[in-house]
A = this chain, B = another copy of it.
């Protein structure tokens, strides 16, 4: 089944907010075996909203919409939907009372514009929103469905996981199964991989697609299979994944679709090792990536963000001589920081970074983007100097991913 998503909001079209809703919805819809075939992001303008709905319904029968349901004057979605589906606005007492309770529970007073949240088109089924004040609206007309949900990610997710997916399942009765298998590969470029897999690709049946999803230093290989028997699909995916393992060997460092930190966590857990980080320019981002993984407290002990030299000295015991002689951004300092972690944090493995994320602070010798990275597993050590080009956030992100990758590499080779 095909679904289109319409995302409404001026804040998205001026780039103030990044749309994460549609990606999340796509993952949930895929799990049902449904495909998102298009995402259209438009402004809070009546004409654009109407046109986008008509256009989407010319291609698909199900449209999910997020955003444009706030109580303030820049939101026009509700009246547009009402007109589009040929209804009139009515006051929904149930929504009103629920919102009264919502405000009372938070010790807030209700005002006129919050009161208007209870106005809904009489041609929709109202689905209650347990975590916000904007009602979710289900429209059904000539076998086409439109569901309008709030743009606040948490509210949309609760709505989807609650009634919306369940109602869609009931409505379509679709049994098609789509399954993915993702292998994470390093030490290969996208095009190098493509060449190594030419023969493999030529043997794939038409029900299986292979996609290459590159990011710096990593290519995710995603096999997608579709059919009506999940156990057969599972078996085919297992077989194809096994062949990829034969071809690519140790270049596959993880057998599922996760973050680099997730892949590192699996390796640490398999080997019963613990980890800590000492971060200067990455500012805690490595620790954040690692602790974003559920269960990371099993192997992650902690981090020292040593943004100033005092902290490098006082907490990590990096000597003033070393800092003076080589500068904070240097091989000896990251080696020392990584070693200090083994003692200060009592861990088996360590990651340390020191660099210049910019935009200021660069010199001719050590320009912005210079990042020294050291990783350790016991007495095994790998050190690298990265030269990353781009914005501050890009440099932090690249140094984070690269240093995690360095430790994965060290562990794979151990």
Binding site for B on A (CB under 8 A): 10-20, 22-27, 30, 35-43, 48, 52, 55, 70-74, 108-109, 111-114, 117, 131, 133, 152-154, 157, 180, 189-195, 201, 209-214, 220, 222, 257, 276-277, 279, 283-288, 290-292, 294-297, 300-308, 310-311, 314-315, 344-346, 357-361, 389-394, 396
Task: Give the complex CA separation of A392 and B293 in angstroms.
Answer: 8
User: Are A13 and B42 also in contact (CB < 8 A) when A192-B108, A358-B294 are?
Assistant: no
Closest to A16 in B: B213
Task: Give the complex CA separation of A8 and B113 in angstroms.
Answer: 39
Q: Which residues of B contact A43 (CB under 8 A)?
A: 37-38
B294 touches A284 (CB 8 A): no
Chain B proximity of A187: nearest CB distance (Å): 11
Chain B proximity of A351: nearest CB distance (Å): 12
Task: Give the complex CA separation of A279 and B40 in angstroms.
Answer: 39
Contact of A302 among B72, B308, B389 (CB under 8 A): B308
A301 touches B310 (CB 8 A): yes
Contact of A220 among B16, B193, B210, B222 (CB under 8 A): B16
Contact of A13 among B36, B201, B297 (CB under 8 A): B36
Known: A277-B305, A284-B286, A301-B308. 5 other contacts (CB 8 A): A15-B26, A108-B192, A154-B394, A302-B304, A302-B307
Q: Which residues of B contact A213 (CB under 8 A)?
A: 11, 16-17
B195 touches A111 (CB 8 A): yes
A304 touches B307 (CB 8 A): no
Closest to A108 in B: B189
Closest to A343 in B: B314
Contact of A288 among B212, B257, B288 (CB under 8 A): B288
Q: Which residues of B contact A20 (CB under 8 A)?
A: 18
B16 touches A35 (CB 8 A): no
**11 contacts across the A-B interface (CB closer than 8 A):** A15-B23, A15-B24, A40-B41, A283-B290, A291-B307, A291-B396, A294-B358, A295-B360, A302-B305, A304-B304, A310-B345
Q: Which residues of B contact A18 (CB under 8 A)?
A: 18-20, 23
B40 touches A26 (CB 8 A): no
Task: Give the complex CA separation of A20 and B24 in angstroms.
Answer: 14
Q: Which residues of B contact A305 (CB under 8 A)?
A: 277, 284, 287, 291, 302-305
Task: Give the complex CA separation of A223 and B410 in angstroms.
Answer: 52
Q: Which residues of B contact A357 (CB under 8 A)?
A: 291
